[in-house]
Amino acid sequence: MHIKAVLFDYGGTLDSDGLTWLNRFSTLYREHGIDTGLEPFRRAFYDADDNLPARFDLRGLGLERTLLLQAGCVCKSLGQGEALAQDVVRSFLDSSRSFFRRNLPLLKELRSRYRLGVVSNFYGNLDSILAGEGLLDLFDVVSESEKVGVIKPEPGIFLHAVNAVGCAPNEALMVGDSIRRDMRGAEGLGMPHAWLAGGHDASGRCCGRAHVLRSLLDLGPLLLDRPTLHAGFAGIIAAGEGSRLKEARPGTPKPLVSVAGRPLVHWVVEGLRAAGARSIVILLNTSGDAVRSYLESAFPDVTWTFLREDTASSWESFRLVSRRLASETERFIISTVDALIPPADVARFAREALSGPEAAALAVTPFVDDEKPLWADLDDAGRVSALGARASQRRCATCGLYALRRSTALDMPPAPTYARLRDYWAALVESGSPVRGMVLGKTIDVDRPQDLGIAEAAVRAF
């Protein structure tokens, strides 16, 4: 891809990972006790949104004052007072600003290599909003529908931006969360495009040429050739009995159960390799010979370490693999053998999981189809605030992918301390150790015979 410029949508792209303002606001109003149903809310929202520049002089207004006017109109339509508008705007601002803070280092790095622009259907004061949030200097152009006089997906607004940054349409990457406005508009002009899908199911939603991003930070590896997994070390826990699958597939060890023509463990290794794994430590139980021969012949380029142990629990297995990896490297990731996760998500997890000061990180997913999910509550900073029985939000559950620092692994208590892996994690979170929670898209926990069909469809979509 020969890219000279990167153009961003604003709402849903720079201020969240793929959630529209309508979505974010409707959730916030619901959380504040206003549940009108989607249609009446949508009407009130778009009435406020479409008419804001006609009703108010927005020149020079920053984000907070603009949002207060917008929410004020919505509240009026819904028969609510100013106090609600202020509460909702406070939450909206906080979440927008946490994304600005998170995205800023990436945007600065992109700015050193590319020309950057914003292409947005917006009210006419996006310049002053970006300036107020400390972002305006990053961009060479802000093409805004209210000013350019053309709205996305019409070509004129994209051409305005492309001309301003001085490149051809096919040399500019358009990044946005809307298929209809951002992706179709870019596609029509032959512009490369990246869809910020967030947690949405990405299969078949855009054209086959679109890059799919789960987070804006996925632009790092796409555009900055950044290395992924630290030193290339990863682990797999494959020592469990897999008793429920065993009944359906007698004689086949769980890692070798076939999913779309290849053993389950094959897909897990593919994910780790996408994250940059070159050395993999795998724990097999003493009947794991067939797994070992498969892996050695299917992945001759991986440096394998096979641990053979009939462990008493998932925690003991995790502990063994962690401590072995900690003897080799500072940071690493571990997957369970039944966690089917899109390789791009595994790569993102490996890249971001321990980019901060956290002791450990857990991958979590809002797509929960598990008899005994391990619920994980996250706080605004993306850290796990409660796990298991103590979790109260119960929006996401862990999905079998973990990241650890060496020091965390070396601090693990003796094997008999816990009966289950989830007890270790719950204790770690309760002890106050910072644990990052990273939200992934759809992942599959292959446990029951009926999971195999879902797994097949999933790996075909990878």
The contact set with Mg ion (CB under 5 A) reads: 9, 11-12, 177-178
What is residue 441's three-state secondary structure? coil
**Nearest residue (CB) to Mg ion, 216 versus 265:** 216
CA distances from 128 to 61, 122, 143 (A): 6, 12, 13
**Nearest residue (CB) to Mg ion, 11 versus 72:** 11
**Nearest residue (CB) to Mg ion, 16 versus 317:** 16
Are the CB atoms for 236 and 269 separated by under 8 Å? Answer: yes
Tell me how far, at minimum, the Cβ of 119 lies from Mg ion, in Å. 10
Are the CB atoms for 338 and 418 separated by under 8 Å? Answer: no
Tell me how far, at minimum, the Cβ of 12 lies from Mg ion, in Å. 3
Tell me how far, at minimum, the Cβ of 18 lies from Mg ion, in Å. 8
Are the CB atoms for 436 and 356 separated by under 8 Å? Answer: yes
Are the CB atoms for 219 and 213 separated by under 8 Å? Answer: yes
Which of the 8 DSSP states describes residue 357? S
For tokens 């007890």, name the residue. 423
Q: Is the dihedral of CA 9, 6, 157, 179 positive or negative?
A: negative
CA-to-CA distance for 129 and 125, rounded, in angstroms? 6
**Nearest residue (CB) to Mg ion, 11 versus 400:** 11
CA-to-CA distance for 217 and 204, rounded, in angstroms? 22
Which helix H or strand E contains 68, and what residues bound it?
A: helix 63-77
Tell me how far, at minimum, the Cβ of 239 lies from Mg ion, in Å. 45
User: In this structure, what are the phi and psi dihedrals at residue 298, rounded to the nearest 5 degrees?
Assistant: -80, -30
- Note the Cα 246 to chain centre separation in Å: 33
Residue nearest to Mg ion (CB): 12
Tell me how far, at minimum, the Cβ of 216 lies from Mg ion, in Å. 12
Quote the crossing angle between the two packed helices 21-31 and 38-55, to the nearest 10°. Answer: 120
Tell me how far, at minimum, the Cβ of 132 lies from Mg ion, in Å. 19
Which helix H or strand E contains 175, and what residues bound it?
A: strand 172-176
Tell me how far, at minimum, the Cβ of 211 lies from Mg ion, in Å. 16
> Any residues with CB less than 8 A from the CB of 362 and at least 6 apart, and which?
376, 384, 398, 401, 402, 403, 425, 435, 436, 437, 438
Tell me how far, at minimum, the Cβ of 136 lies from Mg ion, in Å. 18
**Nearest residue (CB) to Mg ion, 17 versus 177:** 177
Tell me how far, at minimum, the Cβ of 19 lies from Mg ion, in Å. 9
* Per-position b or e across 233-253, b if 16+ CB within 10 A of its CB: bbbbbbbbebeebeeeeeebb
Strands 115-120 and 258-259: unpaired
Tell me how far, at minimum, the Cβ of 10 lies from Mg ion, in Å. 7
Tell me how far, at minimum, the Cβ of 100 lies from Mg ion, in Å. 15
**Nearest residue (CB) to Mg ion, 174 versus 386:** 174
**Nearest residue (CB) to Mg ion, 12 versus 388:** 12
**Nearest residue (CB) to Mg ion, 172 versus 269:** 172
**Nearest residue (CB) to Mg ion, 42 versus 390:** 42
CA distances from 252 to 35, 264, 297, 422 (A): 51, 11, 18, 27
Tell me how far, at minimum, the Cβ of 339 lies from Mg ion, in Å. 31
Extract long-range pairs of 449-457: CB within 8 Å, 24+ residues apart: 449/244, 449/245, 449/247, 449/248, 449/249, 452/245, 452/248, 452/257, 452/259, 454/369, 455/259, 455/260, 455/264, 455/340, 456/259, 456/260
**Nearest residue (CB) to Mg ion, 118 versus 223:** 118
CA-to-CA distance for 54 and 66, rounded, in angstroms? 13
Cβ count near 79 (within 10 Å): 9
**Nearest residue (CB) to Mg ion, 176 versus 220:** 176
**Nearest residue (CB) to Mg ion, 11 versus 253:** 11
